[in-house]
Amino acid sequence: MASSVRILISLFSLLLQFSSFASSQSFIGVNYGIVANNLPAPEATAKLLEATSIGKVRMYGADPAMIMALANTGIGIVIGAANGDIPALASDPNFATQWVNSNVLAYPDSNIIVITVGNEVMTAVDQSLVSLCLPAMQNVQNALNAASLGGKIKVSTVHSMAVLGSSDPPSSAVFNSGFSDTMKSLLKFHSANGSPFMINPYPFFAYQSDPRPETLAFCLFQPNSGRVDSGNGIKYMNMFDAQVDAVRSALNAMGFKDVEIAVAETGWAYKGDPNEAGPSIENAKAYNGNLINHLRSKVGTPLMPGKPIDTYIFALYDENLKPGPGSERSFGLFKPDLSMTYDAGLSKNSQTPTIPTSPATPATPSPVQGAGWCVPKPGVSDAQLQSNLDYVCSQGLDCGPLQPGGACFEPNTVASHATYAMNLLYQTAGRNPWNCDFLQTATLTSNNPSKLQRLYLPGRSMNFRFVSLERFFRLVNCGIQRVMASKLS
């Protein structure tokens, strides 16, 4: 009987991961830069993308070979008109029509979804482009409308966070006053055409300007004490949400609550120069892995709850010819040989485990990733455990069983409740080692700490009449919680 219970537990874990991650998420994208001399062939890149849960690719130009390679894959494509094209696009509608004919209509089997006119134009060195950006966007939009593609393909431009005059706290954010008139005109265009406001938030750079341990945890979606917005009392538990909500506040303050936000770039360097704070494999894996899990949870942000935001991670590959510090050439999720730089949880193969064909098989399946359970380390203070508990429950996970009257409310101690919450996050976020760190207050174990072969449903002895998989998971987790709480007390 004990072996059957172990099989059911392992089967449940596999089903949980399968249901969460098996399909592509349309809101998860990646940036494809080509400032490199060692990139794989476009056809190989297309096959790589199809093997991941990446649903969209953003290009900085309109690479014909890559657009053709992505034909009939269903992957959404964002193509870009370069800053250098803006003067011609703005002044000559015929040039805009020719550009659309050459870069869009020529590829009917490719799923082009957005055209970005320029990149970070508002803060570019050439400020003459600022006044030309909107006319260029309008001409591209008119060309799409003439081709009956105006409702299918959106037109936008991409901004750096520097377009905000202030962003801390998020509720106080407004656009830089020097851009007010231009920004209002751009936003009227977005509102009229239903196109997204595209922004490049980088907690990586926020940490570099404030390299404290608590800032790093806040940037990496790791347990932290949070930061309260003094304007509205909202407690932010990660920098990404705070930065995105700052943009939301600025849009709202200008009267454009209907304009949606898309994150055109965000990422974390895995390597950098000795004097750079933050780059490392561990930090990059934590940021991108936790960001992906945060998006998949569909919890949204405090100002945009319950809604995943289209987010393009920078970048698919390193760009070895880019100038600047070492980190600029070290954002790639994959290497030129198509192997992973580190596992951020994007591979379909790593996320779609094989489910045992016979539940009666006596052998216990191995965990899909890492060890089986995440538990607190001995000697962790109640204050730290409470911080871990608050963090987990702020991430959109169901902490209802810990409420009075809930299935796991007893024993009513911080240690007991934190144990439940910490393992809940680890199990539901993909069982990645970085999801069981909690500022080094947690540890992974392959030994079943709750001795679940003794687990009984309330009022029944080994009678597995489960209401749902969710109910089963709660009972399993409650067993871990109670045993570990007694060990910690």
Secondary structure, 3-state, 176-243: CHHHHHHHHHHHHHHHHHCCCEEEECCHHHHHHCCCCHHHHHHHCCCCCCCEECCCCCCEECCHHHHH
Is residue 151 a contact partner of residue 111, using CB atoms and an 8 Å limit? no
Most confident segment among 253-267, 294-308, 449-463: 253-267
- Catalytic one of 260, 265, 319, 470: 265
- What does the alpha-carbon distance between residue 307 and residue 299 come to, in Å, rounded to a whole number? 6
What share of the chain in percent tops pLDDT 90? 62
- What does the alpha-carbon distance between residue 485 and residue 483 come to, in Å, rounded to a whole number? 5
Pick the more confident residue, 162 or 460: 162
- Provide the terminal-to-terminal Cα distance of the chain, rounded to the nearest Å: 30
Q: What is the pLDDT of residue 155?
A: 98
Q: Mean pLDDT over residues 282-297, rounded?
A: 95
Using the predicted structure, report yes or no on whether residue 22 has a pLDDT greater than 60: no
Give the tens place of pLDDT for each residue, 340-373. 999 999 987 644 332 222 222 223 333 334 557 8
> Tokens for 103?
């870069």
CA angle 140, 49, 430 (to 5 degrees): 120
- What does the alpha-carbon distance between residue 320 and residue 326 come to, in Å, rounded to a whole number? 9
Using the predicted structure, report yes or no on whether residue 322 has a pLDDT greater than 70: yes
Q: What is the pLDDT of residue 461?
A: 35
Helix, strand or coil for residue 374? Answer: strand
For residue 88, say if its preceding peptide bond is cis, omega within 30 degrees of 0: no
Q: What is the pLDDT of residue 472?
A: 43
Pick the more confident residue, 7 or 485: 485
Give the tens place of pLDDT for each residue, 196-242. 999 999 999 999 999 999 999 999 999 899 999 999 999 999 999 99
319 classed as catalytic? no
Domain 23-349, CATH class in plain words: alpha beta
Which helix H or strand E contains 292, and what residues bound it? helix 281-296
Pick the more confident residue, 473 or 68: 68
Give the tens place of pLDDT for each residue, 89-142. 999 999 999 999 999 999 999 999 999 999 999 989 899 999 999 999 999 999
For residue 169, say if its preceding peptide bond is cis, omega within 30 degrees of 0: yes
| Band of pLDDT at residue 489, cut at 50, 70 and 90 | low
Residue ranges with strand state E in 239-296: 261-266
pLDDT-wise least confident of 2-11, 51-60, 284-293, 336-345: 2-11
Give the tens place of pLDDT for each residue, 364-422. 333 334 557 888 888 888 888 888 888 888 777 788 888 887 778 888 888 888 888 88
Using the predicted structure, report yes or no on whether residue 25 has a pLDDT greater than 90: no
Which residues are CB-contacts of 452 (< 8 A; sequence separation ≥ 6)? Answer: 5, 6, 9, 476, 479, 480
Tell me whether strands 25-32 and 112-119 are parallel, antiparallel or unpaired.
unpaired
Q: What is the pLDDT of residue 42?
A: 98
> Tokens for 364?
């216990």
Helix, strand or coil for residue 139? Answer: helix
> Cα–Cα distances in Å, from 460 out to 1, 9, 465?
15, 18, 9
Torsional sign, CA 135, 104, 322, 271: positive
Is residue 352 a contact partner of residue 22, using CB atoms and an 8 Å limit? yes
> Domain limits of the chain?
2-11+367-488, 23-349
470 classed as catalytic? no
Q: Mean pLDDT over residues 284-290, rounded?
A: 97
Q: What is the pLDDT of residue 352?
A: 32
Q: Mean pLDDT over residues 314-340, rounded?
A: 97
- What does the alpha-carbon distance between residue 52 and residue 155 come to, in Å, rounded to a whole number? 27
Residue 386: CB atoms within 10 Å: 14
Helix, strand or coil for residue 285? Answer: helix
CA angle 458, 460, 461 (to 5 degrees): 120
> Tokens for 57?
């690719």
Using the predicted structure, report yes or no on whether residue 72 has a pLDDT greater than 80: yes
Q: Mean pLDDT over residues 32-61, rounded?
A: 97
Residue corresponding to tokens 């203070």: 381
Q: What is the pLDDT of residue 474?
A: 52
- Catalytic one of 120, 260, 319, 328: 120
> Tokens for 35?
């400032």
Q: What is the pLDDT of residue 485?
A: 55
Relative orientation angle of helices 93-100 and 130-146, to the nearest 10 degrees: 60
Exposed (0-12), middle (13-18) or buried (19+): which is 480, by Cβ within 10 Å? buried
Tell me whether strands 311-313 and 373-376 are parallel, antiparallel or unpaired.
unpaired
What share of the chain in percent tops pLDDT 70? 81
- What does the alpha-carbon distance between residue 268 and residue 208 come to, in Å, rounded to a whole number? 11
Q: Mean pLDDT over residues 327-338, rounded?
A: 98
Q: What is the pLDDT of residue 488?
A: 56
